[in-house]
Amino acid sequence: MISRTATAFNAGLPRQELKTLRARLLEQRAFRREQVRTLHRSTPDDSLGADRSAHAEVQDHLAVAARVVLADVEAALDRMATGHYGRCIRCRSAVELHRLQICPETVYCAECHRLQESQR
């Protein structure tokens, strides 16, 4: 449960919105944990022949991506618990609610995200 203290922070997001976003993050965490477990247990089928190593490589990349997203989700849940959720890590302004609704683990506001992408 989200504490009253945490809701006073978290970029001033309404309690109900925080509750909804937290539920989405928890669902995402459960999905990613299961995905990592499944990919970790999975071994390429011998019938793949020469494609076996390519299949294993794809699974490795998927597992890495799942672990990255899982870490982002865990970090978002930690920020929420400490009252630091919903603030851009670059400019410290509130992240737009529609961005959080689409990707609740995001750490950038729209403008800083654009700047970050243009610097790549």
What tens-digit pLDDT sequence spans the chain (120 residues)? 444 444 458 999 999 999 999 999 999 999 999 999 998 887 666 565 667 788 888 999 999 999 999 999 999 999 999 999 999 999 999 999 999 999 999 999 999 999 999 998
Q: Is residue 120 part of a domain?
A: no
Helix axes 51-82, 15-41, angle to 10 degrees: 150
Q: Is residue 118 part of a domain?
A: no
Position 78 scores a pLDDT of: 97
Amino acid 64 reads V
Q: Is residue 35 part of a domain?
A: yes
Q: Domain range for residue 64?
A: 4-85
Nearest to 85 by CA among 96, 74, 77, 93: 77
Q: Is residue 81 part of a domain?
A: yes
- Kindly report whether the global pTM for this prediction surpasses the value 0.95: no
Distance CA 4, CA 116 (A): 33
Residue positions counted in the chain: 120
Q: Is residue 31 part of a domain?
A: yes
Number of domains in the chain: 1
Q: Is residue 66 part of a domain?
A: yes
Q: Is residue 44 part of a domain?
A: yes
Q: Is residue 9 part of a domain?
A: yes
